Structure 1
Amino acid sequence: MRKILLVLSGVVCLVSSNTFAASSGWADKPLNVQPAYAAPEMGEQQAQPQKSTAQQNTYSSGLNLNNYSVSAGFAGSKIGSNELGGDAKFKGLFLEGAYDYQNNLNFWGQYSYQKYSDWEIKLNEISLGVGYKFLEQDNFYALSKIGVGYAWTDQSEYWDELDTTVDSKFKYVTLPIELELGYRFTPNVSVFGGVGYKWLFNQDLKLCAEGKCVSVNDSIIKDEFGIDKSDLDIDGYTYKLGLRYNF
């Protein structure tokens, strides 16, 4: 269509030039007429302009969501230490996002929220890590994971000895490892379960009551009561069940 318009515009320009030449007395002079392109025949396909390499690279350099996935589900753990009265069972939820760097290697980030109902302890954790898929057969796969994280707890409890409510806040650096087994229902949807072990290294314990707070990092706690923050380290088993969607 564009070539047809060019031909018509060339004809109009040619007629206008002849009219002007005739009126100016130049009609006897030869005209230098440039050949015009022929209009395409009906049904003839026009060649489409090719995109430059720079344009193609620009389009292909966009975010490829095929390498990303999100998952969510149930998370539980049985962690503790003898110094803190044994193990405690935590139950809650997790949300995870992952990026597949290669066929067998991925990077992941996770947030989990768990609760120990007996003492109303709320355990929050943010962790990052790397996973390696060492087995994939048919629709089944197996994935090993390791990471590092930061966890904190919130607890409010009434202490009869002090006749007041005491708020306790633990802070931990965590080291989780996990084995994940999954099954793909479709290329995008899979269900999986995981079991693992987690070490939680205490960084601080703060107790607050009636507007006053004391930390396990304060020298008076260690000197007077013989308590060090390493005495509050805990560890134990973890387990989860989730659903993953691959973009």
Structure 2
Amino acid sequence: MKNTLLALTIAAASSATFANSPLPVKYGQPAPLGAPVQAAQSHTTYSPMKNVSLNGGYTGSMIDEGDVKLRFKGWELGATYFLNEKGGVFAKYEQQKDELKLKEFSLGGVYNFYDEKNVYINGTAGLGYAWVDGSSEGDSVDLEYLTIPVGVEVGYKFTPNFALYGGLGYKWLYNQQAEACLDGECYDAGKLSELDVNGTTYRAGLRYNF
């Protein structure tokens, strides 16, 4: 895979919340004396997601674009701020690794589709910037990408503040800079559309709400 990127780069270079509300009061007739009293069923349900949350966990990507086939695996750290009960913003940093190493920072929007019975479903879309590099036997490649990540996250709140989450998504990576060094000679190819790639993303981890 790394040799494919090197060859492509060199070839191209050489050719050119939730708010508090009062409890509802229901007026009615008192139950008659001696009437049986029904026991209330207990079911713990936590409130909708709070304004701010931090998350961390495992993340991966499956890139398949022509001769480029990568299986990145790594970790992510992120933060989310909900402006209201439905919409908010997120920021995330992640590192992944296969034959090449990837570092990415992204920002975007979050929309809450569902939040009932301790289960929530969020959709995300954003923009990011990624740095990809690798080296082997003196040869190296350094790439920079503008990224467009989209995804869906499903979580389960097992306490008011903690939730387990899993997510699936898709990511487009558009090359912004490419440089390769081969046998002691380095080639700066600039921006190469031949190195644009895309693929499926997946993630799982723990979210802390406060």
Q: Map of 1:121-132 to 2, 5 A cutoff?
A: 121-132=100-111
Matches of 1:209 and 1:76 in 2, distance apart? 29
Query: Are residues 1:231 and 2:210 paired?
Result: no
Matches of 2:103 and 2:79 in 1, distance apart? 17
Matches of 1:135 and 1:70 in 2, distance apart? 19
Matches of 1:174 and 1:126 in 2, distance apart? 9
The equivalent residue for 1:95 is: 77
The equivalent residue for 1:155 is: 134
Normalized per residue, the structure richer in helix is 1
Shift of 1:80: 3.5
Structure 2 stretches lacking a partner, 5+ long: 1-49
The equivalent residue for 1:185 is: 158
Query: Are residues 1:73 and 2:73 paired?
Result: no
User: Structure 1: which amino acid aligns with 2:77?
Assistant: L
Matches of 1:169 and 1:90 in 2, distance apart? 16
Aligned-residue sequence identity (percent) comes to 40
TM-score of the two chains, using structure 1 as the length reference = 0.62
The equivalent residue for 2:38 is: none
Q: Map of 1:107-122 to 2, 5 A cutoff?
A: 107-116=89-98, 119=99, 121-122=100-101
Query: Are residues 1:201 and 2:171 paired?
Result: no
Matches of 1:211 and 1:96 in 2, distance apart? 39
SS of residue matched to 1:187: coil
Structure 1 stretches lacking a partner, 5+ long: 1-65, 159-164, 218-227
Matches of 2:52 and 2:115 in 1, distance apart? 18
User: Structure 2: which amino acid aligns with 1:237?
Assistant: T
Matches of 1:203 and 1:189 in 2, distance apart? 38
Q: Give structure 1 regions of 4+ aligned residues with deviation exceeding 2 angstroms.
A: 208-213
Matches of 2:110 and 2:186 in 1, distance apart? 40
Aligned-residue RMSD, C-alpha: 1.5
Which has the greater radius of gyration? 1
User: Structure 1: which amino acid aligns with 2:51?
Assistant: N
Matches of 1:127 and 1:233 in 2, distance apart? 18
Matches of 2:186 and 2:105 in 1, distance apart? 25
Matches of 2:53 and 2:152 in 1, distance apart? 18
